[in-house]
C-alpha cells in the first residue's frame, strides 16, 4: 500500500514538474499560440466549406494560411511607412496643440477664467503627450523586435495550420481529459463556442467594421493623420458602450473650429453610419447565441489590455467568459444568469 501511494505521489510530482517546465518553455510563444487558436476558430467555417469541396484536410488548411499571410503582409508592406510617418506627425502636432482656444469657443461660459482654462489645458495637453509618447514607444519597440516578431508569426501560422487540420482530434483529446459527464461536456462546449463566437464577431469584427467606415470618411474628407485616427476608431469600436463616436465627434468639432464645416458635417455623417452599423450587423452575426453581459466584456477588455497589451481586447473577455462558463456548468440551475444572456434575434 505504501509502495502504491509512493508511486502515485512520485508520478504527481514528476507530472507537476514537467507541466511547470513546459509552461516556461512555451511562455515566450504563448501569445502566438493563442492567436493561432483564435484565428483557427475564426476561419473554421471557411475551412469546413473548403474541406467538403476538396475532401482533404491539408490543402484547405494550407490555402487559408497562405491567404491570411498575404492579407497581413501586403497591408503592412504598403501601410507601415504611412503609419510611422503619420504617427510622427501626430506626435509633433500634439506638442504644439492649442487645447484652450477651441474649448473657449465651444464653452465660453465654462472657460471664462484664464487660470481655470490654463489648468484644464495643461492637464489635457499632458494626457495627449503621454498617449502619443506611448504610441511612439510602441512603434519603436516593434521595429527593434522585428526578428522576434517574424518568429512569432511563424508560430502563429504553424498553430493555425495544425489546429484547422486536426481540430477534431484536439477536441476529442480535450474531452477525454475533462472530469465531466457527456451531458456536461456538451453544455460546456456549446457555451464555449457561442460565447467565443459572440466576443470575436460581436465585438472584434464589428469594431473593425465600424472603425473602417469612420476611416473611409476621414480619408474622403482629407483629415490629417487619417490612418492613425482610423486605427484608434477601430479600437474604440471594439470597446462596448463606447464606439467610434469618441474619435469622430472630437474630430468634427476641431474641423468646425478650424473653419471647415463641410468636412465636419461629413465626418459626423460617417460617424453616425459607423455607430448605427452595429444595429444592422450584430443581429445577423450572433443571433440566437449565448452572450456575455456588456459590462463584463468592457471590464475584461480594459483589464486584458492593461495585462496583455492590444491582444488583451480579445483575451480579457474570453478569460472572464470561460470562468463564467465553468461557474454556470457547476451551478446547473434553471434560474437565468446575470452574466450570460441569450440573444433572441
pLDDT classification of 193: cutoffs 50, 70, 90: confident
What does the block give as the cell for 141?
A: 519597440
Q: How many CA atoms lie within 13 A of 50 on its CB side?
A: 17
Evaluate whether 219 touches 273 at the Cβ level (below 8 Å). no
Tell me the range of 71-80, 288-297, 316-325 where mean pLDDT is highest.
316-325
Q: Provide DSSP, 115-143.
A: HHHHHHHHHHHHHHHHHHHHHHHHHHHHH
This prediction's pTM: 0.67
Share above pLDDT 70 across residues of the chain, in percent, rounded to a whole number: 83
pLDDT classification of 107: cutoffs 50, 70, 90: low
**Mean pLDDT value of segment 131-137:** 72
Which candidate, 345, 236, 212, places its Cα nearest to that of 286?
345
> Any idea where the domains of the chain sit in the sequence?
25-177
Is residue 192 predicted with pLDDT exceeding 70? yes
CB atoms within 10 A of CB 174: 12
Interval 144-175: pLDDT, tens: 777 888 888 888 889 988 888 888 888 888 77
Amino acid at each position: 500500500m505504501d509502495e502504491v501511494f509512493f508511486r502515485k505521489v512520485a508520478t504527481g510530482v514528476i507530472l507537476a514538474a514537467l507541466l511547470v517546465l513546459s509552461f516556461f518553455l512555451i511562455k515566450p510563444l504563448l501569445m502566438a499560440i493563442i492567436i493561432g487558436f483564435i484565428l483557427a476558430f475564426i476561419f473554421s467555417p471557411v475551412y469546413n466549406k473548403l474541406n467538403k469541396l476538396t475532401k482533404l484536410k491539408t490543402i484547405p488548411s494550407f490555402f487559408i494560411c497562405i491567404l491570411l499571410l498575404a492579407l497581413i503582409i501586403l497591408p503592412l508592406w504598403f501601410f507601415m511607412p504611412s503609419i510611422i510617418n503619420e504617427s510622427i506627425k501626430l506626435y509633433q502636432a500634439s506638442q504644439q496643440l492649442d487645447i484652450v482656444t477651441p474649448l473657449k469657443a465651444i464653452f465660453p461660459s465654462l472657460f471664462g477664467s484664464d487660470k481655470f482654462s490654463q489648468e484644464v489645458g495643461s492637464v489635457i495637453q499632458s494626457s495627449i503627450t503621454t498617449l502619443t509618447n506611448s504610441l511612439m514607444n510602441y512603434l519603436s519597440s516593434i521595429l527593434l523586435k522585428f526578428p522576434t516578431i517574424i518568429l512569432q508569426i511563424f508560430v502563429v501560422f504553424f498553430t493555425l495550420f495544425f489546429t484547422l487540420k486536426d481540430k477534431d482530434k484536439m477536441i476529442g483529446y480535450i474531452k477525454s481529459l475533462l472530469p465531466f459527464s457527456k451531458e456536461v461536456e456538451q453544455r460546456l462546449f456549446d457555451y464555449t463556442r457561442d460565447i467565443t463566437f459572440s466576443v470575436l464577431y460581436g465585438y472584434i469584427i464589428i469594431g473593425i467594421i465600424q472603425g473602417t467606415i469612420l476611416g473611409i470618411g476621414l480619408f474622403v474628407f482629407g483629415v490629417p493623420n487619417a490612418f492613425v485616427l482610423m486605427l484608434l476608431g477601430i479600437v474604440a469600436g471594439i470597446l462596448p458602450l463606447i464606439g467610434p463616436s469618441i474619435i469622430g465627434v472630437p474630430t468634427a468639432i476641431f474641423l468646425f473650429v478650424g473653419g471647415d464645416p463641410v468636412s465636419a458635417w461629413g465626418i459626423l455623417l460617417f460617424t453616425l453610419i459607423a455607430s448605427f452599423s452595429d444595429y444592422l450587423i450584430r443581429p445577423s452575426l450572433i443571433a440566437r447565441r449565448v452572450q456575455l453581459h456588456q459590462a463584463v466584456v468592457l471590464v475584461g477588455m480594459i483589464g486584458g489590455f492593461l495585462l496583455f497589451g492590444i491582444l488583451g481586447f480579445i483575451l480579457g473577455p474570453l478569460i472572464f467568459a470561460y470562468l463564467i462558463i465553468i461557474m454556470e456548468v457547476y451551478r446547473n440551475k434553471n434560474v437565468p444568469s446575470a452574466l450570460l444572456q441569450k440573444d433572441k434575434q
